[in-house]
Homo-oligomer: A and B are copies of this chain.
Amino acid sequence: MFTLIHNDGKARVGRLSAPHGEINTPCFMPVGTQAAVKTLSNQDLISCGAEIVLSNTYHLYLRPGIEVIKAAGGLHGFMGWQRPILTDSGGFQVFSLAKLMKVKDEGVEFSSHIDGSRHFLTPEKVIELELGFGSDIIMPLDEPVSYPASKTKAEEALNRTLEWARRSKKAYPSTMDHGLLFGIVQGSSYRDLRKQSADELIKIGFDGYAVGGISVGESEDLIYEVAAYTAEFLPKDKPRYLMGVGTPSDIVEAVAMGIDMFDCVMPTRNGRNGTAFTKKGRLLLRNSKFIRDFTPIDPSCGCFACRNYTRAYIRHLFNTDELLGLRLVSLHNIYFYVMLMKEIRDAILENRFTKYRQEFKK
């Protein structure tokens, strides 16, 4: 299901085969938490070249609910997106967003952040939900810890996550017509715990491995350090996914460590506040210096926004609270991330990734 095509140092180009299509790695997955990538249509995403989107089990479970999604023929049918979808388990959201949360060995009890209704999710239930969504890549329920965490706390969460991983694997039918099941490495910033987590997950056997519980408050250096050694603990023949990371330079650095998959709300969240990514840095498009700037966000960019609209017009849209502005900059940023991944893949395939990375740092 994962074919490794080429290595350049630790950086690798591969191809992941999922029920709804192939994904070229390293890849970036736009975040469509609630079955929609904020402000964008599926057609916008396709125009950006996105090969996969991410959605979130916690949010979809609460709204519109599994029965609605099943009645629509799965999440692809519900949202009208025909390419692969990865669904996050919702572990992170239960622990960060839900109220009155109680973790037990059996699962996690919580109150909905929307209406306070009481719910109980087990690893088995989460797998059942994601199978019901028809997700291409399924993440199991895990227990993330915030940073900093004591070793005792990190170990406790790690062991529970491992036990939940075993139960998730067991609950996941071994037929061919469903998606890929990933394991999530926990262990906070403790190298030995990350190693233990990776080893145990590999024994269980998953289609891919994610580095979880990262980018939860640590310094950039520590994120890099944890990602780097954790990547080393993971098998070469499976995709590696660094959850929730990050800036363009974070991504380039993580690819250099052998990471294959990324997701982050950064391009859309920045898009909605008028911050555009370019090769020369970020542009704050609300800035008055753009009032008479009739060039595109990035003259070298081929996205819909850059082909059709100017900085001055987009600034005006933000200045007058016109929603089109949010869409145009979100679209540009997703295109930027997707193109970044393509550039990274090309650089690896041509054995010039080290140079690409050095130039990117500048």
Indicate if A68 sits at the interface (CB-CB under 8 A): yes
Indicate if A250 sits at the interface (CB-CB under 8 A): no
- One of B40, B308, B319, B323 near A80 (C-beta < 8 A): B308
With A43-B308, A292-B71, A323-B39 already in contact, the answer to whether A316 and B80 are too (CB < 8 A) is no
Indicate if A12 sits at the interface (CB-CB under 8 A): no
Indicate if A312 sits at the interface (CB-CB under 8 A): yes
Contact indicator A322/B78 (Cβ below 8 Å): no
Contact indicator A292/B68 (Cβ below 8 Å): yes
Contact indicator A63/B323 (Cβ below 8 Å): no
Indicate if A120 sits at the interface (CB-CB under 8 A): no
- Assembly CA distance A308 to B80 (angstroms): 7
Contact indicator B317/A78 (Cβ below 8 Å): no
Indicate if A7 sits at the interface (CB-CB under 8 A): no
Number of A interface residues in the complex (CB < 8 A):
38
Contact indicator B313/A63 (Cβ below 8 Å): no
Contact indicator A35/B316 (Cβ below 8 Å): yes
Q: State the Cβ distance, A48 to closest chain B Cβ, in Å.
A: 15
Return chain B residues, CB-CB under 8 Å to A291.
64, 68
Indicate if A98 sits at the interface (CB-CB under 8 A): no
Return chain B residues, CB-CB under 8 Å to A304.
43
Indicate if A310 sits at the interface (CB-CB under 8 A): yes
The 3 closest A-B pairs by CB, nearest first: A34-B320, A36-B322, A64-B316
Besides A68-B292, A71-B292, 15 more A-B contacts (Cβ < 8 Å) are A35-B313, A36-B317, A36-B324, A38-B322, A38-B323, A38-B324, A40-B324, A64-B319, A68-B312, A72-B292, A72-B310, A78-B312, A78-B316, A79-B313, A80-B309
